[in-house]
């Protein structure tokens, strides 16, 4: 798309115009000529609201250069449809996890517990809390080179934190995937593992700033598979100033649909002198010179390179994806490519540089993309070709199959036998190689010969004992050569070579020469690497986490402890103590602040609701309480928190039986109140000393038989004394009682037919043992060995006191002292316990001996408790509990009953669904009314209308909401040319040029008068295809431009690292997850040494 300064201004005016129209503001003028222009009073460019102190050093974000991203407009247009966490995987050298400007925007694996040495989430990686280190195979992706930290800051440095800088997408999270060491080198196999880890965690965008010129089939297949799973692979084009179309830098130059290759430009818009380029294999450019970002050790620095350009594209891709999460990577890539700001002569496929705002405004659909890009149906070892009839899959060279589900490796060694008879054939995925057998020389295909005169020559002219003889040339002329580690003519002399004199033998620290060899030693605090040359720092954090409670950060020759967010380092420098956020200003909470380990939360008093800010508490007002019978007055309103109870006053003669009428947090009155008649007799019997009879609004007193009511106070009843008249008719004693009287006999007599007769107490068995009766009395006696009790009748033996207390035992059933029935004490246990080993007995000394134990019964054994099959039985001391899974309630009989979230008051009304709520066992889901215009939003609860439709709310409960088609042809913004007819269609429209005109309907021109005749029919030559521009942007004609000169490096280049087989040997090159059967994961000598280097510019 051609873009000019005027285009940029018009596009900004358009964005502000749409905001004014949506807010109901006034627009000075809107008119249409051949083009549409927009005018608004007081055009003001949106300001950047950033308090990051070094934001002014980030020229690509400021808009000071027209070749930057101008994030002011982009951030103003950014409206994310999804609030879900968007993660960008940075496959690089790791990230400084302690840098304060990126800590909060680091991805966090919630299923992993830090530093416990366990794989808590079962994903195959231990302690991968913030990502993973595939170079050292541990869970600490801390940066040792600084490269990955710089890239991560460009993408997602925290914004508006009064610190450092701001990232392109501060809403994004960065997942550190380390596969390079502190020298900036790593192995292909580890890069594949990192890519696989990102896919495992559903990462949609990865940033890749590394490369080599050596092809690697396994990595290409891994990137292709990532595309099939929806991942966009952003890659730096390289820093060698080369044409990637001629000399492809990989992986940036792989011709895969999900790869977007990024070159570098400076503030002038010119291609950086170090940047690779290519009209076919390099997609787009982005700022890559003098980029200010994060550095290790909580510092900041400026760097240049295509490594700095790629993260800008990754960040903008994330923003584009957030505006519509349903997009494919192909659509996101197309929006970025189509919106590129054009730069004449720039040798990249998009012919321009990244435009963040343009990408957000650009729109595409599936018809704009190849079906092979967004939904590649082919096998991993096949190529997809999109045709009019659909995609076609063909296996790549070296593989055979249908291309769709099978592409098996062709074993050329077993089929064609392509090697020499004296050579062995080694098969590899998609290829093979021939290698002469031991003792033979040649190319392995046409030649493998064995010929030498060494055995004859050694008799006459022997070689030195430390030399080897081998044949030279076609005649096998003998030649003596000293063995490795020695030098000389091979016959007379072979002297030891001191390898330590040249480049210190390749040793990092100390080189020690030996006879015919040498060895490397390391300084204290370091250990020798597997290559026996490099010295690696001893990671004190690997053993017992360095003694650190939480995070251990290894440093060269030392280490330091750190704490996660919400904790601070204690005085011992190793343990972490919780920060009590509530101690300062109550944590910002308006009511209750509750501190937690590593965090805190705000709570509200009963009746108050926590607001969306998570800190403020407010109550709700309730009005119009219900009517209460016999109530004299009822409150007019109440508040759920400050005054929840509704005051009720009853009529005279009635009292408030109960009042639980309260205002709840939903603005409704709950509970009720009742006014009941006052029963005066209930309170102190109404003042009556005997009977009180309640009446409605009153009461009266009465007396029992034998009493008379006091005539004056009418409340007191006086007893009638019957004994005052003839002793009540009694023989011996008359006893007056309240309301009556009774006759009694003296002690030792009993009343019979009104007469008093002597009682024979001995005949009644009053005594336990001996008894002697007398007139009016008796006397008890005991046998020898017994003592008369305090009651004077019983004979008792020596007794033990109360038995000892036994835990969970109830009161003893029966306990005996020393008697004929024995000394045993029987007791029982509480419910849920059973008696074990009761040996309690009463001793002859009056003391208890032995023990008794009540043991808990486990009701969950063999489900004795009778829990529902879907519930979990949990044994408790003396009891048990049946616990139902989420989405179910426990009924009274213990069974699990499904919760209807659509109607249950514990859930949002209608389950939170805007329309239809559908319950299902343990869960529920929302659905929309029938009709082609509705679609469910990303929250899966609210229904909205598809583009091209407008919501028409229901006018009554009997009707449903409808999505009505928008007639785009009736608006004052006609999408068609004035010389065309606009026809509305469901959700869209169609433009057709009027008679006498030709074109696509949005642009119509008169038919040319000159007609050509073809088979008797007149045909019109169509006009050249026109570029379509968004509203408010003037289409510009493509200006002629000169081919730019190829970028030239400075006269004296800084030394760079040697890429390719640089001497780094990996133990193995990893496959992509579990390798398919058609990929041979055995690695030959050439493949094992492939290393990757950082894509920093040579001057850094």
Kindly list the catalytic residues: 92, 147, 307
Angle, in degrees to the nearest 10, between helices 217-228 and 188-200: 10
CA-to-CA distance for 36 and 30, rounded, in angstroms? 8
Instruction: Bin 102: left if φ > 0, else alpha if -120 < ψ < 50, else beta.
Output: alpha
Element (DSSP H or E) covering residue 800: none
CB atoms inside a 10 Å sphere around CB 267: 15
CA-to-CA distance for 665 and 604, rounded, in angstroms? 12
CA-to-CA distance for 292 and 165, rounded, in angstroms? 8
CA-to-CA distance for 420 and 446, rounded, in angstroms? 6
Q: CB within 8 A of 870, min separation 6: which ones?
A: 884, 885, 888, 896
Range list of H helices, 47-167: 59-62, 71-77, 147-156
CA-to-CA distance for 969 and 972, rounded, in angstroms? 8
Q: Which of 151, 71, 165 is nearest to 355 (CA)?
A: 71
CA-to-CA distance for 192 and 206, rounded, in angstroms? 12
User: DSSP secondary structure string, 1013-1049?
Assistant: EETTEEE-PPPPPPPP--TT----PPPP-PPPPPP--
Range list of H helices, 23-139: 59-62, 71-77
Task: Give how far Cα 158 sits from Cα of 78, 145, 721, Å.
Answer: 17, 21, 100
- Contact between residue 366 and residue 372 where contact means Cβ atoms under 8 Å apart: no
Both tokens of 987, joined, read 């959700």
Q: CB within 8 A of 981, min separation 6: which ones?
A: 991, 992, 993, 994
- Contact between residue 910 and residue 925 where contact means Cβ atoms under 8 Å apart: no
What proportions of the chain, in percent to the nearest 5, are helix, strand and coil? Answer: 15, 30, 55
User: DSSP secondary structure string, 245-309?
Assistant: TTS--BTTT---TTEEEEEEE-TTSPBPTT--BBTTT--EEEE-SSEEEEETTTEEEEE-SHHHH
Instruction: Bin 940: left if φ > 0, else alpha if -120 < ψ < 50, else beta.
Output: left
Phi, psi (rounded to 5 degrees) for 395: -65, 145
Q: Which of 935, 945, 1030 is nearest to 335 (CA)?
A: 1030
Q: Which of 232, 184, 194 is nearest to 91 (CA)?
A: 194
Both tokens of 406, joined, read 């099978």
Is the preceding omega at residue 251 within 30 degrees of 0, hence cis?
A: yes
Strands 654-659 and 673-677: antiparallel
CA-to-CA distance for 945 and 986, rounded, in angstroms? 12
- Contact between residue 675 and residue 656 where contact means Cβ atoms under 8 Å apart: yes
């Amino acid at each position: 798309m051609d873009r000019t300064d005027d285009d940029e201004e018009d596009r900004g005016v358009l964005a502000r115009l749409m905001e004014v129209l949506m807010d109901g503001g006034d627009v000075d003028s809107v008119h249409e000529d051949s083009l549409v222009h927009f005018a608004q009073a007081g055009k003001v460019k949106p300001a950047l609201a950033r308090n990051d102190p070094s934001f002014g050093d980030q020229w690509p974000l400021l808009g000071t250069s027209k070749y930057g991203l101008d994030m002011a407009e982009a951030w103003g247009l950014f409206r994310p449809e999804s609030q879900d966490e968007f993660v960008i995987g940075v496959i690089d050298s790791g990230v400084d996890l302690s840098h304060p400007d990126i800590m909060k925007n680091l991805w966090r694996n919630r299923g992993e517990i830090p530093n416990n040495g366990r794989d808590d989430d079962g994903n195959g990686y231990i302690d991968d809390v913030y990502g993973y280190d595939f170079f050292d195979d541990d869970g600490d992706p801390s940066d040792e080179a600084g490269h990955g930290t710089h890239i991560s800051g460009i993408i997602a440095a925290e914004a508006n934190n009064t610190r450092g800088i701001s990232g392109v997408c501060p809403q994004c999270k960065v997942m550190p995937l380390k596969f390079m060491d502190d020298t900036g080198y790593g192995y292909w196999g580890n890069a594949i593992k990192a890519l696989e880890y990102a896919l495992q965690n559903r990462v949609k965008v990865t940033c890749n700033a590394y490369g080599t010129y050596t092809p690697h089939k396994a990595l290409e297949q891994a990137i292709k598979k990532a595309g099939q799973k929806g991942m966009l692979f952003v890659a730096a084009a390289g820093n060698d100033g080369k044409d990637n179309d001629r000399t492809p830098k990989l992986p940036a130059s792989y011709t895969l649909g999900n790869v977007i290759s990024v070159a570098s430009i400076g503030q002038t818009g010119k291609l950086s002198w170090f940047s690779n380029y290519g009209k076919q294999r390099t997609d787009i450019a982005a700022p890559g010179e003098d980029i200010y970002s994060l550095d290790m050790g909580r510092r900041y620095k400026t760097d240049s390179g295509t490594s700095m350009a790629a993260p800008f594209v990754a960040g903008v891709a994330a923003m584009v994806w957030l505006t519509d999460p349903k997009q494919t990577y192909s659509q996101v890539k197309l929006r970025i490519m189509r919106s590129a700001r054009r730069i004449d002569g720039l040798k990249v496929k998009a012919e321009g540089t990244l435009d963040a705002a343009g990408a957000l405004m650009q729109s595409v659909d599936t018809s704009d993309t190849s079906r092979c890009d967004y939904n590649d149906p082919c096998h991993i070892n096949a190529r997809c070709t999109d045709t009019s009839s659909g995609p076609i899959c063909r296996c790549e060279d070296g593989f055979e199959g249908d291309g769709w589900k099978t592409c098996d490796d062709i074993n050329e060694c077993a089929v064609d036998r392509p090697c020499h008879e004296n050579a062995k054939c080694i098969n590899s995925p998609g290829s093979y190689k021939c290698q002469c057998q031991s003792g033979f020389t040649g190319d392995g295909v046409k030649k493998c010969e064995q010929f030498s005169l060494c055995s004859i020559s050694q008799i006459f002219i022997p070689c030195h004992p430390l030399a080897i003889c081998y044949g030279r040339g076609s005649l096998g002329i003998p030649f003596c050569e000293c063995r490795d580690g020695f030098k000389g003519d091979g016959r007379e002399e072979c002297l030891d070579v001191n390898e330590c004199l040249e480049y210190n033998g390749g040793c990092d620290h100390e080189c020690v020469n030996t006879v015919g060899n040498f060895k490397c030693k390391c300084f204290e605090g370091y250990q020798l690497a597997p290559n026996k040359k490099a010295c690696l720092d001893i990671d004190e954090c690997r053993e017992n986490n360095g003694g650190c409670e939480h995070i251990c950060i290894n440093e060269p020759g030392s280490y330091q402890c750190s704490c996660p967010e919400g904790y601070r380092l204690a005085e011992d420098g190793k343990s972490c103590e919780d920060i009590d956020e509530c101690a300062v200003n109550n944590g910002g909470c308006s009511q209750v602040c509750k501190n937690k380990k590593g965090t805190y939360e705000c709570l509200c008093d009963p009746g108050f609701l926590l607001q969306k800010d998570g800190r403020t508490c407010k109550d709700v007002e309730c009005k119009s309480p219900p009517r209460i019978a016999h109530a004299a007055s009822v409150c007019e309103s109440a508040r759920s928190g400050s005054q929840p109870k509704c005051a009720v006053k009853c009529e005279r003669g009635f009292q408030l039986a109960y009042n639980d009428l309260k205002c709840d947090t939903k603005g409704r009155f709950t509970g009720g109140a009742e006014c009941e008649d006052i029963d005066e007799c209930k309170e102190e019997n109404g003042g009556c000393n005997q009977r009180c009879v309640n009446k409605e609004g009153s009461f009266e007193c009465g007396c029992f038989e034998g009493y008379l009511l006091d005539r004056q106070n009418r409340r007191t009843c006086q007893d009638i004394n019957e004994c005052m008249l003839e002793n009540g008719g009694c023989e011996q004693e008359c006893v007056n009682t309240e309301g009556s009287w009774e006759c009694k006999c003296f002690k030792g007599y009993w009343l019979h037919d009104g007469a008093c007769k002597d009682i024979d107490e001995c005949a009644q068995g009053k005594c336990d043992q001996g008894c002697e009766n007398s007139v009016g009395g008796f006397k008890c006696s005991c046998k020898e060995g017994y003592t008369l009790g305090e009651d004077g009748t019983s004979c008792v033996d020596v007794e033990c006191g109360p038995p000892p207390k036994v835990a969970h035992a109830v009161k003893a059933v029966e306990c005996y002292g020393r008697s004929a029935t024995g000394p045993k004490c029987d007791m029982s246990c509480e419910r849920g316990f059973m008696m074990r080993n009761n040996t309690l007995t009463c001793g002859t000394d009056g003391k208890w001996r032995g023990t008794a134990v009540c043991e808990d019964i486990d009701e969950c054994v063999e489900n004795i408790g009778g829990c529902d099959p879907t519930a979990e039985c949990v044994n408790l001391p003396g009891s048990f509990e049946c616990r139902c899974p989420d989405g179910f309630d426990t009924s009274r009989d213990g069974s699990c009953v499904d919760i209807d979230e659509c109607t249950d008051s514990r859930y949002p009304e209608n389950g939170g669904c805007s329309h239809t709520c559908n319950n299902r066992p343990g869960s529920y889901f929302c659905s929309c009314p029938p009709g082609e215009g509705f679609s469910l939003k990303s929250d899966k609860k609210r229904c909205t209308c598809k583009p091209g439709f407008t919501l028409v709310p229901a006018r009554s409960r009997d009707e449903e909401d409808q999505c009505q088609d928008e007639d785009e042809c009736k608006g004052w913004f006609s999408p068609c040319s004035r010389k065309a007819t606009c026809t509305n269609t469901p959700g869209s429209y169609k433009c057709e040029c009027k008679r006498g005109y030709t074109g696509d309907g949005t642009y119509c021109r008169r038919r040319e008068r000159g007609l050509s005749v073809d088979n008797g029919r007149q045909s019109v030559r169509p006009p050249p295809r026109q570029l379509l521009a968004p509203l408010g942007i003037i289409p510009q004609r493509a200006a002629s431009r000169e081919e730019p000169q190829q970028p030239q490096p400075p006269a004296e280049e800084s030394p760079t690292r040697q890429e390719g087989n640089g001497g780094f040997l990996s133990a193995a090159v990893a496959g992509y997850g579990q390798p398919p059967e058609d990929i041979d994961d055995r690695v030959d000598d050439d493949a094992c040494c492939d290393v990757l280097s950082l894509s920093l510019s040579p001057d850094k």
